[in-house]
Copies of this chain bind each other. A is one copy, B any other.
Amino acid sequence: GFAKVDRQRQERTGFPEVVYGEGKTADEIIRIFRSLKEHSEVLLATRIDEEKGRKIVEVHDDCTFDERSGTVYKKKPLEDTEHYIAVVCAGTSDLAVAEEAAITAEVFGVRVERVYDVGVAGLHRLLGEIERIRAARVSIVVAGMEGALPSVVGGLVAHPVLAVPTSVGYGANFGGVSALLSMLNSCSSGISVVNIDNGFGAAYNAVMIEKMAGS
């Protein structure tokens, strides 16, 4: 019977419900958070601008608003573990998306190592950090403009790489298309891609893989 499909996927998977902030008012999000608190110790809303963010944390003062990534969240302390997801990006401009990914993973209960400022234009920086990336079980690699970083990282590590193109850049970047196409056409194996600026989606995938690998 249809009972086969009627269980909420979110419940089965143990992932908390995450609020997509775009197109919702602060009040709506405040109410949703109130109701989510009945079942969940952690909370996350993404794509929240400054005005909404401030209003939400005024009411939910156990939550943090991170302006750069546009997230409001409540984490719980992570268990001590040697296993982690590496979140890798080039520089200041991609930090918003990288932090959306990192915070999402942490809210979902997974340790994150941030490896920032390692763009391909200065390869020595990436090579200086490569062991920290290699030791991860999954990497999220965030890049705008030419989006070359996932290809280079993918060739240096033996674990799955979630590639996140960003809309950072101007002119012929076409709002992230240049980075997106680079990542889809990567000559490195072991790379899969999510939507432009979708740090959340990359983290969701990475956490699934990480949890599957066990502790």
Contacts and interface: CB of A to CB of B under 8 A. Distances in A.
- Interface range for A: 35 or more
A193 interface: yes
B145 A148 contact: no
Contacts of A90: 187
A191 interface: yes
Nearest to A171: B196
Interface of A: 1-9, 12-13, 15, 20, 22-24, 47, 90, 92-93, 119-124, 127-128, 130-131, 137, 145-148, 151-152, 154-160, 162, 165, 167-198, 201-202, 204-205, 208-209, 212-214
Nearest to A122: B155
B152 A185 contact: no
Number of copies: 8
A169 B201 CA distance: 13
A152 B153 CA distance: 12
Given A23-B92, A146-B185, A148-B182, A196 B209 contact: no
A49 to B, nearest CB: 14
Contact of A193 (B176, B192, B212): B192
A19 to B, nearest CB: 10
Given A178-B181, A179-B185, 16 more contacts: A9-B157, A15-B189, A23-B168, A47-B170, A123-B123, A145-B185, A145-B187, A146-B148, A152-B152, A162-B192, A167-B171, A170-B196, A173-B181, A173-B195, A185-B195, A212-B212
Given A119-B187, A124-B2, A177-B181, A208 B159 contact: yes
5 contacts: A123-B123, A145-B186, A146-B186, A167-B171, A189-B201
Nearest to A178: B181
A188 B120 contact: yes
A123 B153 CA distance: 9
